[in-house]
Amino acid sequence: MEQFKHVGVTGRHGRSEVADTLRRLVTFLESRDVTIVLDSRITDMIPNHCHPICVRDALGEHCDLVIVVGGDGSLLGAARALVDFGIPVIGVNHGRLGFLTDICPSELETLLSEVLDGQYLEENRFLLEVEVERNGQIIDEGCALNDVVLHPGRSTRIIEFELFIDGQFVYKQRSDGIIIATPTGSTAYALSGGGPIMHPALDAIVLVPMFPHMLTNRPLVISGNSEVRLVICEVDHIDPQISCDGQIHLLGHPNDSITIRKKARQLKSLHPEHHDFYDACRSKLRWNHQEHCR
């Protein structure tokens, strides 16, 4: 396993408990004699430091590992910014669920010592890229680790759109929108919409209708290599939004075509050696905590 010598540090800005953990993390990394590079947005939370600073989007140019302190939202933002650099990311959880940031602050020094010594699990997580096409021109684009969502924005009206998968017409739907999620995102918004939980190792995409007019429109799991295209129908008199991880919002218009496909570069996600997806499900989703039979 790779041992890391240049470590980037980023996290959620503005929370006192995050600041405390960031300071502990920097002190720990200093004791490990690694080069520390700080995200410029968090430097005011770590006073009197003497480490190099750069914007988050450039951490991948200077580091061989990035540690994110915050919730899953913080890691989602870091993932989109760093995926093209091919460097691994690991999270220290200061959020609610923490499916992606799975190191507890109380175990920070112990578990990160193991990671820096090369004792960790590595997973490749794919992202989705989205393009919005209008009158034959790409007018906006984005990417998402969890999900791409077509929704009405501030309007309370339903959307009518057509769905194509790999060029084949699937259906025309009237609904509040649709969630297109990766296995990583299957435990996020898609789960609350009634979608299935997918193991992170699956090469699949799930499409979850949001309050469809026809109750026979159910979640649909397709190949991870499929290309999904949504066409907003002309009858709509609203400008729906296309959200990436709930953090990037693209504006659509009637007759726009929205194409979603797997991004070529994948995210390297690190976990402690004892990480277990099903254990995470039990603890985060409050599944039965009783001991198993054998």
Residue 292 banded pLDDT, cuts 50, 70, 90: low
Question: To which CATH superfamily is domain 6-119+273-284 assigned?
Answer: Probable inorganic polyphosphate/atp-NAD kinase; domain 1 (3.40.50.10330)
Q: Among residues of the chain, what percentage have pLDDT more than 70? A: 97
Pairing outcome for strands 168-175 and 257-272: unpaired
pTM: 0.93
Q: Label residue 238 by pLDDT band (50, 70, 90).
A: confident
- 245 close to 145: Cβ distance less than 8 angstroms: yes
The share of the chain scoring above pLDDT 90, in percent, equals: 81
Residues 174-186 have pLDDT tens digits of 999 999 999 999 9
Buried b (16+ CB within 10 A) or exposed e, 87-119: bbbbbbbbbeebbbbbbebeebeebbeebbeee
Q: Where in the chain are all domains bearing CATH 3.40.50.10330?
A: 6-119+273-284
Domain 127-264 has CATH 3.90.550.10: no
Residues recognised as catalytic: 72
Contacts of 60 (CB under 8 A, 6+ apart): 8, 66, 81, 82, 84, 85, 86, 87
pLDDT, residue 155, reads 77
If you average pLDDT over residues 87-96, what whole number do you get?
Answer: 91
Residue 91 has pLDDT above 90, yes or no: yes
Q: What is the pLDDT of residue 286?
A: 83
Amino acid at 226: S
Mean pLDDT of 224-249: 91
User: What integer is the mean pLDDT of 162-175?
Assistant: 97
Residue 294: its pLDDT value, please?
Answer: 56
pLDDT average, residue stretch 150-168: 92
Residue 280 has pLDDT above 90, yes or no: no
pLDDT for 186? 97
pLDDT tens for 103-120 read 999 999 999 999 999 999
* Spatial CA neighbour of 260 closest among 128, 83, 125: 128
